[in-house]
Chains A and B, each alone.
Chain A
Amino acid sequence: MTQLAPKPSGLKLTKGRRKVKDAFSSPWASFFAIVIALLWTIPTFGLLVTSFRPKVDIVTTGWWTFFSNPNVTLENYQSVFLQGNNVTPPLSQYIFNSFAITIPAAVFPLTIAVFAAYALAWFEFKGRDFIFFSIFALQVIPLQLTLIPLLQLFARGQIAGVQVLPDMEITGSYIPIWIAHTIFGLPLAIFLLHNFLRQIPRELVEAARVDGAGWFMLFRKIIFPLSIPAIASFAIFQFLWVWNDLLVGLTFGGGVREIAPLTVRLAEMVGTRGSGWEVLTAGAFISMIVPLIVFFTLQRYFIRGLLAGSVKG
């Protein structure tokens, strides 16, 4: 585009863009998209409606009859949220556990990953590329591959049957769950943050170095403040991942009720006979409410993180 005639070409572009837009938004395409969107939402919507219906209504009629015969109650929520018995605590306890697991399990890996990403992006050393590619490859190791040895390590402090650590007696606390989530979150976090940190202009880093900033001050004053958006994107990712996880909570929680997250309890409720739909639907919705709030308020950051991970890949 030449500087001589910016206006006409600009006009032409908007005109072209509008024409393209018209052609795309054919009524059939829109109709089809809306139908699929509704189809995708109905199951969740049905669950939400059901969780507010009285027990008698739930078991005798379909949730769609609610609209001809609306009958709203908060009883289901009250009972799953607050009523426990001597075997199982109420869900409020598990919500606490989910927060107590998720917050450290997002803070720890992010901190360690941003450190490693900084080292891999800005330190010059031999074998750097090898380490970077290895970490990238580690991303796809299935969790299942690590469960048994890692569990033995936590339980007995043994590597390959040899005592390397004293028995730490951390089984049955949050600590193994935090460590496991930290480890499993690292490869993707390092990879994404590294891609971001590499884009920081070299002149900026070199100018700071010339001014006498050491590697630590450089990180604290320049690298870290600049990488906050990327960290935020990944934090949402890791938060949702940990909050929604079942496998790690189930395996590393050691089956201890006092520390189990919501997902573990919900899966248990589904498995036990006698958990009626009034309890299950309310319970499921309680477990979904936090991720849904995070999702709808921070969707933009979430998508940014997602795209950084897959499009650049």
Chain B
Amino acid sequence: MGILTFGILTARETGWDVIAPNLTITIFGLLTFAAVIFLLFVIGERSSVKAQEWVKYLVFLVPALFLLTIGLIYPAIRTLFLSFMDARGENFIGFDNYIWAFTKPEILTVLRNTIIWTLAVPIFSTTIGLGIAYFTDRMKRGAWVKSLIFMPMAISFVGASVIWRFVYAYEPNLNKPDIGLMSALAKAIGIADPPIWLIEAPMNTFLLIAVMVWIQTGFAMVVLGAAMKNIPDEIVEASMLDGASQWRRFSQITVPMIRSTIVVVVTTVLIGTLKVFDIVRTMTGGNFETNVVANEMFNQAFQQRNYGTGSALAILLFLGVIPIVAYNIRQLRRERTER
């Protein structure tokens, strides 16, 4: 309903000719989906007990497996093949795409940047998140503080990029007042001629990383804070009676007791960082030595139209994730057997 009213309101300004077909297809899509589900349940509930034993798989399990197969498994295998083929995916060229990736200077910069990102973002966001979670653990009105730090999680990477581009905005004319907060602060502390923040390497990569840390810290804080709540009061109390200092309590009780959660946070942030695309694309477009694999993959595949090199870069991304996946599956298995 909401979408309908909104569509009509919008139509007044933009012309019904654009909205009408879009609105129709959206409503049609939702109704078709609902009708199919309804029909499946009518058939399912009316079929005999014996027939239900196999109809249930068809209705409940097969759609998901089908989508995952054609949408994730098949494309992943196909991409592996394409990474050994030429630009148009027609001729086999062996490891050429990978050799290209590891010899071309620009791509080496891309790989180096990606490694910096995947080290810096998990370390900073987890450390800061851990600190804030500890400080606000039993703080009065801590909920407000947490809400504010968590808020960037709700903002899109593109939105976040606009916010930070404005912070980093540079004013070339030294006589004009700054509109960017960063330059103004730099001048306030006595740097008369601040650098062009987003252009000067390698500083610019770290300024982009700051945006990702800004977003991910809230996540780390919330998850680690929840884990800290589970530490029994008795333990904390006992340590206080023993006269342990704040730092000792933090480093020898809190951190060891939530160790497994810290590992989960670090891996989750790491996987997210490896795939980061929007921030680099929106803030610098990958120029000025700030490019990362996820963005270069998009450039190669969809702008240069080279499916071979694009696929090879995607495979390199995946290789970065594999150790983490293996570790997580082992953890999950262990947990399942313990239950």
Contacts and interface: CB of A to CB of B under 8 A. Distances in A.
Interface of A: 13, 16-17, 19-21, 23-26, 29-30, 32-34, 36-38, 40-44, 46-47, 50, 58-65, 82, 84, 89-90, 92-93, 95-97, 99-100, 103-104, 107-108, 111-113, 115-116, 118-120, 123, 125, 131, 133, 135-138, 140-150, 153, 159-160, 173-175, 178-180, 182-184, 186-187, 190, 214-217, 219-220, 240, 243-247, 250-251, 258-259, 263, 266-267, 270-271, 277, 280-281, 283-284, 287-288, 291-292, 294-296, 299, 303, 306-307, 310-311, 313
Contacts of A116: 60-61, 63-65
Contacts of B311: 148
16 contacts: A20-B233, A33-B145, A40-B217, A89-B14, A90-B13, A103-B30, A108-B33, A115-B60, A145-B314, A147-B302, A174-B25, A190-B64, A217-B45, A246-B281, A271-B285, A313-B328
Nearest to A82: B13
A307 B329 contact: no
Contacts, number: 379
Contacts of B159: 244, 263, 266, 284, 287-288
A33 B75 contact: no
Interface size class of B (residues with CB under 8 A): 35 or more
Contacts of A17: 233
A183 B68 contact: yes
A138 B314 CA distance: 15
Nearest to B144: A37
Contacts of A95: 6, 10
Nearest to B80: A145
A113 B275 contact: no
B64 A306 contact: no
Contacts of A144: 275, 277, 294, 297-298, 313-314, 317
A33 B331 CA distance: 33
A147 B314 contact: yes
Contacts of A25: 138-140
Contact of B64 (A19, A38, A112, A311): A112
Given A148-B310, A240-B154, A307-B226, A103 B240 contact: no
B78 A160 contact: yes
B227 A311 contact: yes
A44 to B, nearest CB: 6
Given A144-B294, A214-B44, A311 B156 contact: no
B301 interface: yes
B53 to A, nearest CB: 8
B271 interface: yes
A276 to B, nearest CB: 11
Given A311-B223, A313-B328, A120 B138 contact: no
Given A93-B10, A311-B264, A46 B155 contact: no
Contacts of B203: none
B189 interface: no
Q: Which of A36, A179, A258 has the most CB of B within 10 A?
A: A36
Given A40-B149, A89-B14, A277 B264 contact: no
Nearest to B211: A43
A244 B155 contact: yes
A143 B271 CA distance: 11
B193 to A, nearest CB: 17
Q: Which of A113, A145, A217, A303 has the most CB of B within 10 A?
A: A145
Which secondary structure characterizes the binding site on chain B?
helix
B3 A103 contact: yes
Closest 4 pairs between A and B when the two form their complex, measured CB to CB? A183-B71, A244-B156, A295-B154, A116-B64
B252 to A, nearest CB: 16
Contacts of B307: 148
Q: Which of A33, A186, A277 has the most CB of B within 10 A?
A: A33
A146 B67 CA distance: 13
B41 interface: yes
Contacts of B137: 24
Given A183-B67, A258-B18, 10 more contacts: A40-B217, A60-B176, A64-B181, A104-B30, A107-B33, A116-B65, A136-B332, A140-B324, A180-B71, A271-B285
B281 A46 contact: no
Contacts of B310: 148
Contacts of B68: 135, 138, 183, 186-187
B74 A159 contact: yes
Given A216-B44, A288-B156, A291-B154, A149 B162 contact: no
Contact of A145 (B9, B76, B302, B329): B76
A222 B282 CA distance: 47
B236 interface: yes
B317 A295 contact: no
A112 B63 contact: yes
Contacts of A284: 158-159, 162-163
B49 interface: yes
